[in-house]
Amino acid sequence: METITRRNFFGKLTKASASVAAFPALSAFGFASRPNAPASPILLSQNENAYGPSETVLAVMREASSAGNRYPAGECDPLLGTLAALHRIRPEQVVLGCGSSEILRIAAELYLGPGTSLVQASPTCPRLSEFAQMAGAAVINVPLNKMYEHDLEAMLSRTRASLGLVYICNPNNPTGTLTPRKDIETFISKLPPATMVLIDEAYHHFVSATGAYASFLDSPVNDSRVLVARTFSKIYGLAGMRIGYVVAAPEVARRLSARRLTFGVSAVSARAAASALDDSAYVLMAARRNANDRQEFMNQANARMTRIIDSHTNFVMLNPGRPVDEVFKHLQSHNIHVAPPIPEMSKYLRVSLGTPVEMQQFWRVLDLMPGHNMAM
């Protein structure tokens, strides 16, 4: 996280102001004549890809939808083969799910229950903890450290022989921050032998090049306790298709697969996902575009002397400089939806990156609040 000081403010303001000036006039988007809420909601709350899937994938979806009256019949097999080739593993190590949410549910059912515990960061994606509680397991929340990384030493101190599962979302949601790969490897090596580790890499593709990060799929560890979850909901733009997957050791994958929903992955979803994997040029373009959108968000925040947490994802944690409940309600009143306030981070709101037009509207509405640029 970068702290804006009087010493460095004016240099940043000059750069950010140039960026603001480079934007088309608000009237070009019709904003000047619409002082109140837009007709359609602006959705900056779910960390979706605001641009959607590629045209190639859309064409496949349209073609596949003609068989929407049929249950899936073999459409998942080519996708499993493509994923296995991509990650240089065997197809039997991949388990598909109805979004990564189903993967988290299956892991909770398999490894958690009465007398076991889930250890996770706080705050982090809450989905697995919800499934853990449904399974009757204890949930141990360990606050992030001052760098907003997983406090792995503190997490290790909370583990015990009966521990069922450790959850590491990296990059982390909602902070958008990274925990160094080497630290995670050291942490795993010290865990009790029966403890499983689920590494959620939903936002993997948005990470800019850094020596601190490496995917556990691109550079696997030889440890059968490690599960790595991915999703097609983010960079591929297929959140509505509900498809994700997990990579695990063959025996672990077999046990996970036995708990899948019957027909949980539709034929349309499987074909769309396979097409998205083939369209590698779109993925690279989407990553570059997201990096540009993220930098623009930071420029706009800096121009307003508004604090942010450095992000490696498609969302940013913003300190709006006033009570977040007020800001949240103000944005909602203008039909702009961001993530609800997070109790563990009472000064921040999570804002998913939208299209340039959507982000122009976001900043315009935020600027309507008096004193929004006063740092807390």
Residue 117 DSSP SS3: strand
CA distance 191 to 159: 7
CATH class of 6-52+282-367: alpha beta
Asked if the model's pLDDT at residue 90 lies above 60, the reply is yes
Are the C-beta atoms of 294 and 316 separated by less than 8 Å? yes
Identity of residue 2: E
Q: What does the mean pLDDT of the chain come to?
A: 89
Q: 3-state DSSP call for residue 12?
A: helix
pLDDT band, residue 120 (cuts 50/70/90): very high
Categorize the per-residue pLDDT at 221 as very low, low, confident or very high, splitting at 50, 70 and 90: confident
Query: What would the pLDDT profile of 330-342 be if each residue is shown by its tens digit?
Result: 999 999 999 999 9
Q: Which of 357, 369, 303 has its CA nearest to residue 332?
A: 369
Q: Picking from 92-96, 131-135, 208-212, which range would have the lowest pLDDT averaged per residue?
A: 208-212
Q: Summarize the confidence of residues 314-341 as an average pLDDT.
A: 97
Cβ proximity of 126 and 108 under 8 Å: no
Residue 84 confidence (pLDDT) above 60: yes
The residue among 372, 374, 319 whose CA lies nearest residue 342 is 319
Distance in angstroms (rounded) separating the CA atoms of residues 260 and 278: 25
Band (68; pLDDT cuts 50, 70, 90): confident
* DSSP secondary structure letter of residue 222: S
Burial level of 294, CB count in 10 A (0-12/13-18/19+)? buried
pTM over 0.85: yes
In a 3-state reduction of DSSP, which class is residue 351? strand
The mean pLDDT value for 231-248 works out to: 98
Q: Cα dist. 93→201, 247, 255, 275, 336 in Å?
A: 17, 6, 11, 21, 41
The span from the CA of 148 to the CA of 142, in Å, is 12
C-alpha closest to that of 200 among 233, 222, 223, 242: 233
The pLDDT of 268-288, averaged and rounded, is 97
Beta strands in 53-194, from DSSP E residues, in sequence order: 94-97, 117-122, 138-143, 165-169
What tokens were used for 209? 């090049």
Is residue 307's pLDDT more than 70? yes
82 pLDDT band (50/70/90 cuts)? Answer: very high
pLDDT band at 373 (very low <50, low <70, confident <90, very high): low
Please state which architecture CATH assigns to domain 55-278: 3-Layer(aba) Sandwich (3.40)
Start-end of CATH 3.90.1150.10 domains in the chain: 6-52+282-367
Strand runs labelled E in 186-306: 196-200, 226-231, 244-247
What Cα–Cα distance (Å) separates residue 141 from each residue in 110, 155, 192, 292, 309? Answer: 20, 8, 18, 34, 21
- 315 has which bridge partners? 352
pLDDT-derived band at 38 (thresholds 50, 70, 90) equals low
Question: What value does the mean pLDDT take over residues 198-217?
Answer: 95
Residues of the chain with CATH 3.40.640.10: 55-278
The tokens describing 358, both together, are: 């959507």
- Decide if pLDDT at 347 tops 70: yes
Residue 130 vs residues 125, 233, 255, 298: alpha-carbon distances, Å: 10, 20, 21, 32
Strands 244-247 and 349-352 turn out to be: unpaired
**CA dist., res. 43 & res. 54, Å (int):** 20
